[in-house]
Structure 1
């Protein structure tokens, strides 16, 4: 499991005093990009597109709260993989939100998906969830 930490900034909250829903996607993206680097999923050039993403809001987050984003692989296909993420309160461990993304290996010259390399597949398997 990959872990990434963020601290909620004031500008990420709204008039209700909690983190605005759009910012959860920013946190998930921030952790996802760091996961790509740490898991050695990217090579010399960026060759992935985000096919889908969703976020379920479980509880509220607030200004200056420290959050941990856990990222793990739940599925590896021929040309894509699914990344599941949990946003947790660092102090309590309480679940704040759950994210899910489908990422596709993409050849931008051909404008088509392409098979995941054996090396990338092996690196992703290191983060595969135990089911």
Structure 2
């Protein structure tokens, strides 16, 4: 499991006094940075090797300003060229949201998917969702 903590900023709250649902997708993406580095250690945007194929977020509890949050990140599936990242957002010892993102190892020069090499697969396998 990978873990990233965030301080909830006042600007991330909405008129209902809880964190806006659009913020979670941003937190989830930021918490995927260690996975991005497995494919591209320098995070070189000119040689970016991943595309987002889909994501789904389930909102389980409200998230509030004034309390930190933690995003827990796991790998839930690995295919030949794509993989699923499962994430949970926790606040005050409660799982408040979960989400799954499908990423594809991609070659922009050929505009096609690319096989994930064994070294990267082995790194991904170190973070299973059990």
The alignment's TM-score, normalised by the length of structure 1, stands at: 0.90
Q: CA 1:35–1:7 in 2, change beyond 3 Å: closer, same or farther?
A: farther
Q: Write the distance in 2 (CA, Å) between the matches of 1:43 and 1:98.
A: 26
Select 1:74's aligned residue among 73, 76, 82: 76
Q: Write the distance in 2 (CA, Å) between the matches of 1:55 and 1:5.
A: 18
Counterparts of 1:42-121 in structure 2, within 5 Å, are 42-43=40-41, 45-89=47-91, 92-121=92-121
Structure 2 gaps, min length 5: none
Q: Is the 8 A contact 2:35 2:124 kept in 1?
A: no
Q: Is the 8 A contact 1:2 1:35 kept in 2?
A: no
SS at 1:52's partner residue?
strand
Please tell me the root mean square deviation across aligned C-alpha atoms, in Å: 1.3
The alignment's TM-score, normalised by the length of structure 2, stands at: 0.91
Counterparts of 1:24-39 in structure 2, within 5 Å, are 24-37=24-37
Structure 1 residue 65: Cα displacement: 1.7
Structure 1 residue 43: Cα displacement: 4.2
Extract structure 1 runs of 4+ deviating beyond 6 A. Answer: none
Q: Write the distance in 2 (CA, Å) between the matches of 1:114 and 1:35.
A: 16
Counterpart check, 1:11 vs 2:11: yes
Q: Is the 8 A contact 1:2 1:70 kept in 2?
A: yes
**Deviation sequence 1:64-118 (CA, Å, 0-9, x none):** 32001000001000001000000001xx310110011000000000011110011
